[in-house]
Amino acid sequence: MIIKGRKISRGIAEGKVLLSKDPISFLGNVDPESGKIIDPNHMLYGKSISGKVLVFPYGKGSTVGSYVIYQLSKNKVAPAAMINLDSEPIVAVGAIISEIPLVDRLEKNPYSLLKDEDIIKVNGNLGLIEIEDK
Amino acid sequence: MYLTTDEERILEGEEGETLRKAMEILVALGDIYGADCLIPIKSAQIAGVSYKTIGDAGLEWISDLKGHVKVPSVLNPAGMDMIRWNEMGISRDFAKKQKQIVEAYGRLGINTMCTCTPYYLKGFSVGYGDHLAWSESSAVSYANSVIGARTNREGGPSALSAALVGKTANYGYHLDEKRIPNIGIRVECNLKGADYGALGYVAGKISGNMVPIFSLTSNPTNDELKSLGAAMAASGAVALYHVENVTPEARKMKYDFPEEVVVIERADIEEVYATVGGSDGNSECDVAAAGCPHCSPKELESIAQMIKGKTVDKEFWVFTSREVATKYPDLVETIEKSGAKVLCDTCMIVSPAANNFHHMAVNSGKAYSYIPGMCRINSTLCDLEHCIKKVVSDDN
């Protein structure tokens, strides 16, 4: 099944879904060394975003968050791809400089469509996601 | 967003990886904000310079870039005076990282002057209607409001991308319709000097990210407007404001005064002076600072006149751009004779120097607003004369 959205950052990647209903501030919420969520108040606290297709509504917090995404990618613990409800500049810029595919505004609500551990493909060149038909 | 053939070529990577990513950033931001095309810019000012704010993450990214900026570009203040960092109590490790950041920007052809007042620099003259990609919030406010140029508040990577491509996406304050005032602020008392910082602090909280237009009874200087805009961009997110019969765009466009009007009185201004920012309201000022935003030649002159012949017994810092300090060595000498320091390339907010103190007196509404959060110390707003009084020993 193909779900169309909007392309923000190019590239194609596949991975297991990790859903967050909380927005993410990459500066402060995420440890750039391990790729784990380190904010006890975040719903993903203790979980690793490394290699995942990270689904979250949008980024928030300091613009330094863009560089933290870059650091995650240099440390090889970045998400494989990201899906937002609505991308904002911090995450958009972070994804582009780190070459992480990012799409937003899917035509179907990703939170009702996807669940944790689903394997999906994010195509940032065409701005869509591919879910294997069961 | 519409792209020209040339822009498409860059996006496909035909001019290298750095430019491809720069173009991808501009296009992504343009799409997010609904821009129709890219527009050429006259200059860029790039944030994300202080090691205190961008850390190793930022240093790594900048160091990996290759290329050369297409328009005059300059940096935001760094975390230290690039020459006299030792006197500021900056650690050797911090200094080493800070130098690496500035050098990495320099390799991209960026002027490594680090200042929040690029409009004073040679080669950065800005005119009415010019399109820019500037980052630092007070510089953005000054360019938009006092000069009538057009810039959004760019993030570090987007300003750098705009500098490398020579263009930015056409949205926000580049468009006529986004520049129309939508909140009126009527001030019913005469103002002078630091009053404008206090007014900005109050008005910024009221305005959020709206475009205010002021009706004032006094006639502000450009330095006073600089202080007003800087404070509004700190306590709120105001990137453009107008002053009836004063700022160039308000004079030319004759904007209608909005229906939503807020009145600010003397008591509102006095309340800011009387309120200590931060947690420890009883502590005494142990340091004072001027030059947020960086001092103009006129402001340096006022400080020199006021402090001449006096001796300070507490730290007093005066921040300005290296270009202005170099141009006026006599003023710098007069100020430093008192024991005060004239520091360049940095400021009280972005450098870690203030961490060694408890309570800073400032004549800037912006510094007053940021110091408790960014430096974890208290702040008091007062006019320049009182800032100096707080650091000068009683016997002179």
In this prediction, residue B212 carries a pLDDT of 98
Task: For residue range B168-203, list pLDDT tens digits in order.
Answer: 999 999 999 999 999 999 999 999 999 999 999 999
In this prediction, residue B238 carries a pLDDT of 93
The more confidently predicted of residues B140 and B352 is: B140
pLDDT of A63 higher than 90? no
CB < 8 Å to A63, chain B: 47-48, 155-156
In this prediction, residue B368 carries a pLDDT of 95
Which candidate from A10, A71, A89 shows the least CB-CB separation from B32? A89
Query: Cβ of A67 and B155 within 8 Å?
Result: no
In this prediction, residue B395 carries a pLDDT of 53
Of the pLDDT bands very low, low, confident and very high (cuts 50, 70, 90), residue A134 is: low
Catalytic residue of the set A62, A66, A87, A98: A62
* % chain B with pLDDT above 90: 87
DSSP string, B371-390: HHHHHSSEEEE--HHHHHHH
Of the pLDDT bands very low, low, confident and very high (cuts 50, 70, 90), residue B394 is: low
Domains (range + CATH), chain B: 5-176 (3.30.499), 180-274 (3.40.1060.10), 287-389 (3.30.499.10)
Query: Cβ of B157 and A92 within 8 Å?
Result: no
Q: Does A26 touch chain B (CB under 8 A)?
A: no
- Measured in whole angstroms, the distance separating CA B198 from the mean position of its chain's CA atoms is 16
* % chain B with pLDDT above 70: 99
Whether the complex's predicted ipTM surpasses the cut of 0.85:
no
Measured in angstroms, the CA of B26 and the nearest CA of chain A are apart by: 9
pLDDT of A107 higher than 60? yes
Query: Cβ of B28 and A92 within 8 Å?
Result: yes
Range(s) of the domain holding residue A68: 2-131
pLDDT of B66 higher than 60? yes
In this prediction, residue B120 carries a pLDDT of 96
Which candidate from A8, A64, A87 shows the least CB-CB separation from B57? A64
Query: Cβ of B53 and A67 within 8 Å?
Result: no
Measured in angstroms, the CA of B38 and the nearest CA of chain A are apart by: 17
A9 is catalytic: no
In this prediction, residue A64 carries a pLDDT of 80
Q: Does A92 touch chain B (CB under 8 A)?
A: yes
Q: For the stretch B118-147, what's the b/e string if a residue is b when 16 or more beta carbons lie within 10 angstroms of its beta carbon?
A: bbbbeebebeeebbbbbbbbbbbbbbbbbb
Query: Cβ of B58 and A67 within 8 Å?
Result: yes
CA distance B257 to B186: 10
Query: Cβ of B56 and A71 within 8 Å?
Result: yes
Those residues whose C-beta lies under 8 Å from the C-beta of residue A86, and which sit 6 or more positions away, are A57, A58, A104, A105
- Nearest Cα residue in chain B from A10: B24
In this prediction, residue B356 carries a pLDDT of 86
Closest CA to A30 of A120, A105, A102, A94: A94
Total number of domains constituting chain A: 1
Of the pLDDT bands very low, low, confident and very high (cuts 50, 70, 90), residue B350 is: confident
Report chain B's mean pLDDT, rounded to a whole number: 95
In this prediction, residue A115 carries a pLDDT of 96
Query: Cβ of A97 and B21 within 8 Å?
Result: yes
Which candidate from A8, A64, A97 shows the least CB-CB separation from B54? A64
Closest CA to B80 of B62, B101, B111, B60: B101
Query: Cβ of B57 and A71 within 8 Å?
Result: yes
Task: For residue range B1-25, list pLDDT tens digits in order.
Answer: 999 999 999 999 999 999 999 999 9
Those residues whose C-beta lies under 8 Å from the C-beta of residue B160, and which sit 6 or more positions away, are B22, B44, B46, B48, B62, B65, B73, B108
In this prediction, residue B211 carries a pLDDT of 97
Task: For residue range A70-100, list pLDDT tens digits in order.
Answer: 999 999 999 999 999 999 888 999 999 999 9
The CATH code of the domain that includes A90 is 3.50.30.10
Which candidate from B24, B48, B155 shows the least CB-CB separation from A96? B24
Q: Choose the weakest-confidence range: A28-37, A81-90, B47-56.
A: B47-56
CB < 8 Å to A88, chain B: 32
Task: For residue range B308-324, list pLDDT tens digits in order.
Answer: 999 999 999 999 999 99
Q: Which two tokens stand for residue B156?
A: 């570090």
In this prediction, residue B188 carries a pLDDT of 93
Whole-number Cα distances in Å, B194 to A114, B139, B201, B268, B301: 55, 18, 11, 14, 16
Which candidate from B25, B29, B57 shows the least CB-CB separation from A32? B57
CB < 8 Å to A10, chain B: 24
Q: Does A78 touch chain B (CB under 8 A)?
A: no
In this prediction, residue B91 carries a pLDDT of 94
Q: What mean pLDDT do residues B64-81 have?
A: 95
pLDDT of B104 higher than 90? yes
Chains A–B, number of C-beta pairs less than 8 Å apart? 62
Task: For residue range B215-252, list pLDDT tens digits in order.
Answer: 999 999 999 999 999 999 999 989 999 999 999 999 99
CB < 8 Å to B60, chain A: 67, 70-71, 74
Residue B206, helix vs strand vs coil = helix
Residue A86's CB is within 10 A of a number of other CB atoms, namely 11
CB < 8 Å to B34, chain A: none
Query: Cβ of B31 and A8 within 8 Å?
Result: yes
